[in-house]
Amino acid sequence: MRHGRKSRSKRFDGYKRHVLKDLDSGLVRAVGITPGNGPEASVTEAIAADLQKQKVMLEELHIDRAYLNSTLVRERSPDLKIICKAWPVPNGSRFHKSSFTLNWESGLIYCPNQVAMPFTEGKVVRFPSTIFAKCPLRSRCTTSKTGRSVSIHPDEKLLLELRQRQTTAVGRKKLRERVSVEHTLAHIGQLACVLALVISGKVKIYLTCVVWH
pLDDT over 50 (residue 161): yes
Name the average pLDDT for the chain.
Answer: 79
User: CA 21, CA 206: separation in Å to the nearest integer?
Assistant: 5
Sign of the Cα torsion 187, 188, 191, 194 reads negative
Model pLDDT for residues 45-87, shown as the tens digit of each residue = 888 888 888 877 777 787 878 888 888 888 888 888 888 888 8
| Confidence bin at 202 (pLDDT 50/70/90) | very low
Of 31-45, 46-60, 122-136, which has the strongest mean pLDDT?
122-136
Instruction: Label residue 188 exposed, middle or buried (CB < 10 Å: 0-12, 13-18, 19+).
Output: middle
Of 73-87, 99-113, 122-136, which has the strongest mean pLDDT?
99-113
